Structure 1
Amino acid sequence: MYSLDDTNPLFWIIIFLILIIQGSWIFNDASKRGENKWIWGLFGCLNVPTSLLIYILVTRYIMKTENCGHCGNKVRTNANYCSNCGQRIKNEY
């Protein structure tokens, strides 16, 4: 019978390092994209590679962004105002 106690400690160290690297990359990328970096970074430390795939799908395809015409900051396409400068993005009806 095989148990977790029989697993090589090097295996767990490698998994831990991969999770930390993945979480750090997601944290930095979310920060550059104007997403909630802490939530995404912690989410990235949960598992490999599912968290990374979900992050990329959500931020690149589901929540599309455009640049603010005033300051150039990335804002979601459905936003009415820029979160950085407050400039109106779309007309409100």
Structure 2
Amino acid sequence: MNEVTQMEWLLWLGIGFLLFAQSTGLFLHARSRGNKAWFWGLWGLTNFPSPLVTYLILQAWFARKQKRQAKSTDNHPEGEMRDG
């Protein structure tokens, strides 16, 4: 019985460490990009890996969107007539 209790404590400690590490990583990355760091940090404490997967998908989507907008403004500078 003692071995089971010790393994249970190690499991809970591992889960806590995993959630804390995920939360800290999300917070620091979001803060460096200026994207609601406290939201991501707190959500990262709640479960695993949903916040991490969601954050990565949104970051990829926003990066692609910004790249597309930058490409669009490079191709069509303001003041230039567009054929339509």
Identify the structure with the greater strand proportion.
1
* 3-state SS of 1:32 partner: helix
Q: Within the alignment, does 1:44 sit opposite 2:40 as a pair?
A: no
Q: Whole-Å Cα distance in 2 between the matches of residues 53 and 10 of structure 1?
A: 25
Q: Whole-Å Cα distance in 2 between the matches of residues 44 and 31 of structure 1?
A: 14
In the other structure, the counterpart of 1:34 is: 34
State the identity %.
29
| Structure 2, gaps ≥5 residues long | 70-77, 79-84
In the other structure, the counterpart of 1:17 is: 17
Stretches of 4+ moved more than 2 A in 1? Answer: 63-66
Structure number with greater Rg is 2
Identify the structure with the greater helix proportion.
2
The TM-score normalised by the length of structure 1 is 0.58
Superposed displacement of residue 37, structure 1? 0.4
Alignment RMSD: 2.4
Structure scoring higher RCO (CA < 8 A, sep ≥ 6) equals 2
